[in-house]
Amino acid sequence: MRFTPALVAVKKGETVRFVVTNSGKVPHEFSLGTEQELKEHYEVMKKFPGMEHNEANKISLKSGQKGEVIWRFTKGGVVDFACLHPGHYDAGMKGQIKVANQ
């Protein structure tokens, strides 16, 4: 229940392609957002655990699947990412992207 790496450093204005592989045995997801957005999404996932996503900022991956999220970081600061399948976030399946102001 973890992301490798869990800490990513980028620069403001950069567009990053996250190539994510689920090397585990159960479905996972990769969701980008503020901590607040991720927590709200986590509450929804607890009610609808089978939710699958293919949106700009999140992707669902079954065991062995690989996918991409492409995101442009327009502001400096911290952006969080997490897997919001019930229990996974609490188990520590989260990480941070530090966006430097150049």
CA distance 62 to 41: 19
Single out the segment in contact with Cu ion by CB under 5 A; choices: 3-11, 50-58, 61-69, 76-84. 76-84
For Cu ion, which residue of 59, 82, 83, 99 counts as binding (CB under 5 A)?
83
Quote the tokens at residue 83: 């897997």
Q: Between 7 and 46, how does the x/- string for binding to Cu ion read (CB under 5 A)? A: ---------------------x------------------
Told to check if 84 binds Cu ion by CB under 5 A, we report: no
